[in-house]
């Protein structure tokens, strides 16, 4: 899922997401939408879909991630988290599980995330355990407060750091609540890759196969690919568009920077075989030249990078259905990490 934190992505319009990328779902953030444009504005507009003219699905994060990302501006207790606005320090508000549900009901997102107690996977065991148990308790409060369960799907979030036993305990408790889907939270926070893989694998083993399994905050192509091979279905990250703003393209042969002078005269597409709007209409040389003098290049790179990740995973899904998962994965990694690509 591409990320439009405040209901929009830098350099990519809703129309481009729908018509040029064929993106089915995007992510926005409850905390940021609450501050601006504000809950009342979204209610008057008839929800986020109408406000941003987006006819497909929206998933909203609950505001839990800001417990970590804006740690200096909040205090946490069993009731919820009290924030000092990063936009206006005089504005202080409390986000509770009930309030998060109320705001997300007003946003009208198709998938709502529970408010969870988010901690990086690298913090101490005692704090991880506290966050895990609190997240279970907060899910119960979210379920009771959710007012539109027929149209909006509430996902639970599994916590427990890289402790596989805590993850097991949390999965078992969350599955008892029988939510429409489950997220694996608290990852991509500085843990070792091997711990990451083991944690994702363990959670996917324990979560229902017939419901979506969503690894939060993952945007590297290789991480998405391996996580999907382990059983995950959904991912989100700002990485595709953020790295585009710095002139990096996702390609069949890895991530490659526009700044590499040796590529400035490449007259093929950004990525071999790519069917995105940028690759079908412009050469690497043109976009590279544009990047040095015109912001339109960022739009083209953003469209390409989002398209690359979405269609990489669609190709994997097709390979799974056709029974050629292993050969597809081997070919992907052989190309993506080939020595001579000289990528990032």
Angstrom distance (rounded) from CA 45 to CA 85: 23
Output the six-digit token pair for 301.
Answer: 């790179």
Q: Is 61 a catalytic residue?
A: yes
Mean pLDDT computed over 154-176: 97
Residues linked to residue 111 through DSSP beta bridges, in sequence order:
59, 153
- pLDDT per residue as tens digits for the range 62-88: 999 898 888 899 999 999 999 999 999
Summarised one tens digit per residue, pLDDT across range 312-328 is 999 999 999 999 999 99
> Is the pLDDT score of 285 beyond 50?
yes
b/e map 272-303, b = 16+ CB within 10 Å: eebebbbbeebbbeebbebbeeeeebbbbbbb
195 is catalytic: no
Average pLDDT over residues 226-234: 97
**Nearby residues of 162 by Cβ (< 8 Å), 6 or more positions away:** 121, 191, 192, 195, 196, 198, 199
pLDDT of residue 261: 56
Contact 74, 29 (CB under 8 A): no
Residue 107 in contact with residue 30, Cβ under 8 Å? Answer: yes
2-32: pLDDT as tens digits: 999 989 888 899 999 999 999 999 999 999 9
Average model confidence (pLDDT) across the chain = 93
pLDDT at 294: 85
Global pTM exceeds 0.85:
yes
Q: What is the 3-state secondary structure (H, E, C) of 51-90?
A: HHCCCCEEEEECCCCHHHHCHHHEEECCCCEEEECCCCCC
> Which listed residue (116, 163, 223, 236) is catalytic?
236
- Is residue 263 very low, low, confident or very high in pLDDT (cuts 50, 70, 90)? low
262 pLDDT higher than 70: no
What is the C-alpha separation between 135 and 185, in angstroms, rounded?
Answer: 11
Q: Averaged over 191-211, what is the pLDDT?
A: 96
What pLDDT is recorded for position 65? 86
Predicted pLDDT of residue 121 = 75
Longest dimension (CA), the chain: 59
pLDDT bracket for residue 295 (50, 70, 90): confident
Token pair 């190709």 in the structure block, residue:
315
What pLDDT score was predicted for residue 292? 78
- Res 344: pLDDT: 42
What confidence score (pLDDT) does residue 343 get? 45
Distance CA 124, CA 113 (A): 25
DSSP states of 301-330 = HHHHHHHHHHHHHHHHHHHHHTT-HHHHHH
**Mean pLDDT on 273-299:** 92
Q: What is the pLDDT of residues 107-142, one digit of tens each?
A: 999 999 999 999 987 789 999 999 999 999 999 999
Q: Which of 61, 116, 117, 163 is catalytic?
A: 61
User: Residue range 168-180: average pLDDT?
Assistant: 98
């Amino acid at each position: 899922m591409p990320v439009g934190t405040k209901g929009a992505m830098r350099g990519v319009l809703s129309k481009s997401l729908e018509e040029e990328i064929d993106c089915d779902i995007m992510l926005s953030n409850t905390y940021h939408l609450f501050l601006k444009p504000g809950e009342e504005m979204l209610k008057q507009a008839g929800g986020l879909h109408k406000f941003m003219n987006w006819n497909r699905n929206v998933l909203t994060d609950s505001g839990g991630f800001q417990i970590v990302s804006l740690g200096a501006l909040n205090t946490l207790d069993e009731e919820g988290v009290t924030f000092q606005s990063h936009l206006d320090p005089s504005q202080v508000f409390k986000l509770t599980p009930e309030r998060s549900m109320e705001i997300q009901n007003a946003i009208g997102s198709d998938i709502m995330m529970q408010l969870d107690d988010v901690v990086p996977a690298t913090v101490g065991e005692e704090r991880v355990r506290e966050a895990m148990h609190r997240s279970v308790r907060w899910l119960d409060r979210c379920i009771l407060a959710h007012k539109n369960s027929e149209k909006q799907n509430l996902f639970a979030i599994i916590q427990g750091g890289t402790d596989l036993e805590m993850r097991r305990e949390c999965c078992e408790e969350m599955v008892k609540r029988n939510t429409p889907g489950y997220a694996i939270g608290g990852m991509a926070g500085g843990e070792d890759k091997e711990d990451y893989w083991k944690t994702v694998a363990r959670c996917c083993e324990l979560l229902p196969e017939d419901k979506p399994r969503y690894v939060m905050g993952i945007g590297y192509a290789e991480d998405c690919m391996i996580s999907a091979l382990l059983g995950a279905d959904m991912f989100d990250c700002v990485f595709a568009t953020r790295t585009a703003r710095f002139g990096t393209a996702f390609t069949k042969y890895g991530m490659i920077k526009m700044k590499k002078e040796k590529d400035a005269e490449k007259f093929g597409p950004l990525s071999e075989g790519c069917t995105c709007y940028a690759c079908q209409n412009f050469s690497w040389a043109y976009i590279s030249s544009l990047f040095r003098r015109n912001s339109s290049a960022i739009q083209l790179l953003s469209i390409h990078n989002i398209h690359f990740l979405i269609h990489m995973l669609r190709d994997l899904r097709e390979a799974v259905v056709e029974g050629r998962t292993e050969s597809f994965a081997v070919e992907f990694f052989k190309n993506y990490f080939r020595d001579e690509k000289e990528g990032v």
